[in-house]
């Protein structure tokens, strides 16, 4: 079957008939869930099953489960994880944290996580993003991102590295306005782009809604053929590339126009998170099918989704407590 170059949300904890009809017609490649979609484990398992059934294929279901500031599943469905900036215990703890996190997600039918954040903090990083960034220099962030991704993959969950090619040097929060990065390219290459190069083998990545003036002063990375070509060619990322949420205020114009610009720029998938039925319908009508190189990247991404390796949850939690105590 032909799949649309889309990742879509839904409005609540149960699919409406209108959503079922739309997803059956559109066949989006994947879905994303938010706190508004969460009641309990049994409900989430039903919802994820219903999403896949409506789309007509084994669609990946994503969530933003970074921990701390950005964590859609909370106790009792998931541990109350700290922000990345507050994580103790080094790389072994980061790996264990994400292995346990993967077990929590898989128990609810979720097999994709829009994490880890591999942005690098700088003096002007917005506090909302700062809390979500692993501490240390660019190489430390790259190492933490690798450990997080390994933990998720071991638990059968697809990681999505973000925000490509880097958001840390931006002067604002893209949820509210369009930030800009004014740093020279040499500085970005020595800092912000280091984790991207180091993790360029990852199967999935998410773009940044930021203007990188040294590459394209006129368009945010998500909508910039120049920036996305640089990401592919110079930074070596050949994974499946999804936009950050098209609903964010960093972007303007009709939703279908935002998506069209993103696809034209080189994004493989348009991500729409609000669950607004009218906007999703417009996107479904405009969405191209996944074909060519984008389809190849999507196929490789799904091939990275492996069954969870065996784990003793109690022993893993005890070891994590020891590492972070």
Whole-number pLDDT of residue 127: 86
In a domain, 265, yes or no: no
Whole-number pLDDT of residue 214: 97
> Is position 119 annotated as part of the catalytic site?
no
CA distance linking residue 161 with residue 163, whole number of Å:
7
Q: What CATH number is attached to the domain comprising 101?
A: 3.20.20.300
> Across the 325 residues of the chain, what is the mean pLDDT of every consecutive 10-residue run?
96 98 98 98 98 98 97 97 96 98 98 98 86 96 98 98 93 76 96 98 97 97 98 98 94 94 98 97 97 97 94 97 95
Whole-number pLDDT of residue 176: 64
The gap from C-alpha 160 to its chain's centroid, in whole angstroms, comes to: 4
Number of domains, the chain: 1
CA distance linking residue 121 with residue 119, whole number of Å:
7
In a domain, 126, yes or no: yes
In a domain, 99, yes or no: yes
In a domain, 232, yes or no: yes
In a domain, 148, yes or no: yes
Whole-number pLDDT of residue 40: 98
CB within 8 Å of 208: residues ≥ 6 apart: 162, 163, 164, 165, 166, 167, 170, 174, 220, 221, 222, 244
The parent domain of residue 154 ranges over: 73-260+290-325
Which residue is catalytic, options 64, 143, 216, 244? 244
In a domain, 91, yes or no: yes
Which residue is catalytic, options 57, 173, 175, 276? 175
In a domain, 197, yes or no: yes
pTM, rounded to two decimals: 0.96
> Is position 173 annotated as part of the catalytic site?
no
Model confidence pLDDT, tens digit, residues 257-309: 999 999 999 999 999 999 999 999 999 999 999 999 999 999 999 999 989 99
In a domain, 98, yes or no: yes
């Amino acid at each position: 079957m032909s799949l649309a170059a889309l990742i879509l949300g839904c409005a609540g904890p149960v699919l409406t008939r209108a959503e079922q009809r739309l997803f059956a017609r559109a066949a989006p490649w994947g879905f994303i869930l938010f706190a508004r979609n969460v009641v309990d484990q049994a409900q989430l398992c039903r919802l994820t099953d219903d999403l896949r059934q409506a789309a007509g294929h084994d669609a990946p279901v994503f969530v933003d489960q970074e921990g701390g500031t950005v964590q859609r599943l909370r106790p009792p469905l998931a541990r109350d994880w700290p922000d990345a900036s507050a994580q103790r215990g080094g790389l072994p703890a980061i790996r264990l944290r994400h292995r346990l996190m993967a077990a929590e997600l898989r128990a609810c039918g979720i097999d994709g996580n829009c994490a880890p954040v591999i942005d690098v903090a700088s003096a002007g990083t917005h506090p909302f993003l700062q809390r979500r960034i692993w501490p240390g220099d660019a190489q430390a962030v790259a190492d933490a991102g690798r450990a997080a991704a390994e933990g998720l993959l071991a638990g059968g969950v697809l990681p999505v590295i973000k925000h490509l090619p880097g958001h840390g040097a931006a002067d604002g929060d893209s949820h509210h306005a369009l930030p800009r990065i004014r740093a020279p390219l040499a500085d970005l290459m020595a800092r912000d782009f280091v984790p991207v190069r180091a993790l360029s083998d990852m199967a999935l990545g998410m773009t940044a809604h930021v203007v990188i003036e040294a590459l394209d002063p006129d368009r945010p990375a998500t909508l910039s053929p120049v920036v996305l070509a640089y990401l592919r060619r110079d930074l070596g990322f050949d994974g499946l590339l999804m936009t950050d949420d098209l609903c964010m205020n960093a972007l303007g114009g009709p939703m279908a126009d935002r998506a069209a610009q993103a696809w034209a720029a080189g994004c493989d998938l348009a991500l729409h998170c609000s669950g607004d039925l009218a906007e999703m319908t417009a996107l479904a009508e405009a969405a191209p099918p996944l074909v060519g190189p984008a389809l190849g990247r999507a196929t490789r991404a799904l091939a990275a989704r492996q069954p969870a390796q065996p784990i003793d949850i109690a022993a893993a939690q005890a070891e994590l407590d020891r590492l972070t105590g």
